[in-house]
Chains A and B, each alone.
Chain A
């Protein structure tokens, strides 16, 4: 007589799989984090003997007080106007010391910045400022740089700066990586991000 091997009961297999599934559902997260990336300034042990002279017109003072009020160049301003104000300041390009800004489209006022390379945004906050307000202000200031870089990038290469950066990070990009990097660096150097949080008196 031929003996048939007994069939393994697979009825509880589903239960086991469900158990594992629920374990993974509970212990894992699906989110990838997003955020504003910044670089903190290095600690300087010996203070520079002769700090470089910065012209007042090349300095864009943004201040946040303890009541979450925004002060730009000592005058109150709404957060929604900050981006435009920062763009106007950075893109002014009135030119000084025989150095003119050919690509700037600003008003070339003598009371605002000489050149994007010299324009510095100085952000100051009080200890009582809310974190949300601080992040919003940082965001608007970075957006000002991004807008200007996008504009120049589109003019020179027909593609936005953000798109170039995305392609550079994308592993499946088929074009020339070194060329792309050179383009990114070129646009960055046209509007270098000079956003300081050091205390400037």
Chain B
């Protein structure tokens, strides 16, 4: 009789963790499908204004992002605190916008070029002078579709 007695019968059985990888993989696949890769890391302070007459920006590959705003606090030592433009991962000046648009076009199929949109992600506090300059550059290279990226909400709260 004692020959078959389980020695550990008094201790609680260990919880099986065999299904843990499955659960984590499930989460992983959810995030892989539902999200997109972050394109740029921001070097500037970027608090978007609020508006409600908005349209969704689909087709991420046809969007060119132009960021503008004050450099974030850790860059202010070198860059000062006047609003700057950010293209890709670098600070840029207004004169770089043309080259940026042309480079983005180069990377897109020719048939899709007319559908390319420029998303202006500009901080609330930026003065219109800078944006007027950007718009002038965009017009010069015939990139006429722009989108002022905003958060959703009543515009009166701006």
Expressed in whole angstroms, the minimum distance between the Cβ of B70 and any Cβ of chain A is: 12
Interface string of B134-151 (1 = CB under 8 A from A): 010011101011111111
Chain B residue with the shortest CB-CB distance to A40? B144
Q: How far is the CA of A200 from the CA of B49 in the complex (A)?
A: 27
Q: With contacts defined as CB atoms under 8 Å apart, how many contacts are there between chain A and chain B in the complex? A: 161
Residue of B31, B52, B131 near A21 (CB, 8 A) is B31
A25 at the interface (CB under 8 A from B): yes
Expressed in whole angstroms, the minimum distance between the Cβ of A151 and any Cβ of chain B is: 16
CB contacts (< 8 Å) of A79 on chain B: these are 155-156
Residue of B32, B117, B155 near A135 (CB, 8 A) is B155
A97 at the interface (CB under 8 A from B): no
Chain B residue with the shortest CB-CB distance to A79? B156
CB contacts (< 8 Å) of B37 on chain A: these are 27-29
Chain B residue with the shortest CB-CB distance to A20? B28
If A32-B57, A132-B49 touch, whether A40 touches B146 (CB-CB below 8 Å) is yes
- For B, the interface residue count at a CB cutoff of 8 angstroms equals 56
CB contacts (< 8 Å) of A64 on chain B: these are 128
A72 at the interface (CB under 8 A from B): no
- For A, the interface residue count at a CB cutoff of 8 angstroms equals 48
Q: How far is the CA of A41 from the CA of B17 in the complex (A)?
A: 62
Expressed in whole angstroms, the minimum distance between the Cβ of B15 and any Cβ of chain A is: 13
If A14-B17, A32-B57, A37-B55 touch, whether A132 touches B156 (CB-CB below 8 Å) is no
A157 at the interface (CB under 8 A from B): no
Verify A40–B35 contact, CB threshold 8 A: no
Verify B28–A34 contact, CB threshold 8 A: no
B53 at the interface (CB under 8 A from A): yes
CB contacts (< 8 Å) of A71 on chain B: these are none
Residue of B34, B63, B138, B155 near A40 (CB, 8 A) is B138
Verify A135–B158 contact, CB threshold 8 A: yes
Among the stretches B18-26, B71-79, B85-93, the one at the interface with A is B18-26
B56 at the interface (CB under 8 A from A): yes
* Pairs of residues from A and B, 4 with the lowest C-beta to C-beta distance, nearest first: A127-B129, A28-B35, A17-B24, A13-B21
Chain A to chain B contacts (Cβ below 8 Å), 6 pairs = A30-B35, A128-B127, A129-B127, A135-B50, A136-B51, A138-B148
Chain B residues near A (Cβ < 8 Å) = 17-18, 20-21, 24-25, 27-28, 31-32, 34-38, 49-58, 63, 117, 119-120, 122-129, 131-132, 135, 138-140, 142, 144-152, 155-156, 158
